[in-house]
């Protein structure tokens, strides 16, 4: 435990070392930040005890949110470099705020940021399509695209679940959020290639496991869902392939799959993945974004804060290091989801 915690603290130091004075956490020095990965990094800082930096990151979101509840997809310092609005990025603020509450029990922090959360979630719910999917984005000129992304919509199932937890904790009734989440989860569960509900990205690993990670697919169905494509994505010794037909392993997706497996009771499989992820660790506590094994080469040659954050959150989830470790296991999941399930094929 001591060695593991020391390694996590060093990874937290790596993330904190990239945070700007404004609270913004870019991908790496000189690069842009996006709201989703920024929140992921803030959550990881909270796990390792850097609550001041974590809350500074959430405060940056509060000060930069547009009146309609949105944030631009990419911001570098004070300069917007991509003005498109991504609904999944906007909704993830709910996960960050609920994570803080699970860590600290602080209701005042939730209340302080309730207006930010409410605006963001209303924006997301307002982008729901007739299929139940959430439109993935809005152009800088103001037009919404009438297409959903399976990964983004799956993650929004989790975000809306966290938003509902926060609303309940603060005594706010938001039945429209619950209805939107139910329709969204049903769309994710029923997704089939070529049905037109989501843009097809069948080779992407996140489209494979995010329906389970977000909580739309649960119980025995979750195990079947994961097992169906296990062999396509698992790369023993490296983690998982980011894209099924490419020999490229990425520790962020590997860590997120570890969280997914832990959430459905497959801790042994999760532990194997976390062990494989360590091959991507750098001496400064960061993690290389990816590795191409035929070339035995790091690619791209960058260490992103969100990759480091994913490793921290996965380690917390699998080893129950903090009171927030169960967030991905518990939010919005039915009571019958098994705590222990048969091991996978890995």
Tokens at 323, concatenated? 């009171």
Q: Report residue 80: phi and psi, to 5°.
A: -75, 120
Dihedral of the alpha carbons of 156, 269, 219, 319, in degrees to the nearest 10: -70
Going residue by residue through the chain (346 aa), what tens digit of pLDDT does each one get? 566 789 999 999 999 999 999 999 999 999 999 999 999 999 999 999 999 999 999 999 999 999 999 999 999 999 999 999 999 999 999 999 999 999 999 999 999 999 999 999 999 999 999 999 999 999 999 999 999 999 999 999 999 999 999 999 999 999 999 999 999 999 999 998 878 899 999 999 999 999 999 999 999 999 999 999 999 999 999 999 999 999 999 999 999 999 999 999 999 999 999 999 999 999 999 999 999 999 999 999 999 999 999 999 999 999 999 999 999 999 866 543 333 333 333 3
Backbone dihedral region for residue 171 (phi beyond 0: left; psi -120 to 50: alpha; all else: beta) = left
Give me the pLDDT at residue 2, please: 66
Give me the pLDDT at residue 203, please: 96
Q: DSSP for 277-305?
A: HGGGB-TTS-BBS-EETTTTEESSS-B-H
DSSP 235: E
Give me the pLDDT at residue 3, please: 62
Q: Using alpha carbons only, what angle is made at residue 181 by residues 179 and 187, rounded to the nearest 5 degrees?
A: 105
Burial category of 219 from C-beta neighbours within 10 Å (exposed 0-12, middle 13-18, buried 19 and up): middle
Residue 195 CB neighbours (<10 A) = 11
Q: Which of 240, 334, 329 is nearest to 291 (CA)?
A: 240
Q: DSSP for 5-74?
A: HHHHHHHHHHHHTT--TTS---SSTTS-B-HHHHHHHHHHHHHTT-HHHHHHHHHHHHHH--TTS---SE
CATH architecture of 2-329: Alpha/alpha barrel (1.50)
Query: How far is residue 336's CA from residue 219's CA, in Å, rounded to a whole number?
Result: 7
Give me the pLDDT at residue 194, please: 78
Give me the pLDDT at residue 301, please: 96
Query: So where are the chain's domains?
Result: 2-329
Residue 27 CB neighbours (<10 A) = 22
Give me the pLDDT at residue 261, please: 98
């Amino acid at each position: 435990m001591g060695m593991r915690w020391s390694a996590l603290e060093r990874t937290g130091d790596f993330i904190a070392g990239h945070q700007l004075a404004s609270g913004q956490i870019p991908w790496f020095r000189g690069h842009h930040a996006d709201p989703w990965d920024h929140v992921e990094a803030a959550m990881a800082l909270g796990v390792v005890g850097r609550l001041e930096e974590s809350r500074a990151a959430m405060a940056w979101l509060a000060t930069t949110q547009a009146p309609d509840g949105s944030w631009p997809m990419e911001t570098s310092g004070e300069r917007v470099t991509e003005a498109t609005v991504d609904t999944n990025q906007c909704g993830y603020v709910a996960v960050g705020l609920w994570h803080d509450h699970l860590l600290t029990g602080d209701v005042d922090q939730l209340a302080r940021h309730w207006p930010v959360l409410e605006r963001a979630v209303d924006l997301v719910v307002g982008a729901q399509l007739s299929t139940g999917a959430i439109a993935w984005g809005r152009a800088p000129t103001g037009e919404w695209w009438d297409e959903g992304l399976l990964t983004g919509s799956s993650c929004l199932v989790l975000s809306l679940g966290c938003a509902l937890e926060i609303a309940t904790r603060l005594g706010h009734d938001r039945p429209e959020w619950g209805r939107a989440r139910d329709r969204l989860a049903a769309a994710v569960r029923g997704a089939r290639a070529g049905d037109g509900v989501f843009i097809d990205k069948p080779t992407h690993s996140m489209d494979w496991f995010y329906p389970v990670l977000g909580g739309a697919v649960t119980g025995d169905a979750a195990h079947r869902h994961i097992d169906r494509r296990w062999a396509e994505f698992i790369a023993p010794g490296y983690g998982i392939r980011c894209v099924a037909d490419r020999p490229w392993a990425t520790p962020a997706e590997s860590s997120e799959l570890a969280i997914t497996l832990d959430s459905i009771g497959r801790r042994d499989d999760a532990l194997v993945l976390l062990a494989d992820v360590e091959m991507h660790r750098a001496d400064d506590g960061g993690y290389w974004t990816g590795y191409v094994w035929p070339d035995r080469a790091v690619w791209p040659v960058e260490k992103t804060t969100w990759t480091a954050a994913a490793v921290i959150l996965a380690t917390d989830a699998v080893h129950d290091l903090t009171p927030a470790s169960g967030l991905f296991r518990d939010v919005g999941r039915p009571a019958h989801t098994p705590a222990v399930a048969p091991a996978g094929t890995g």
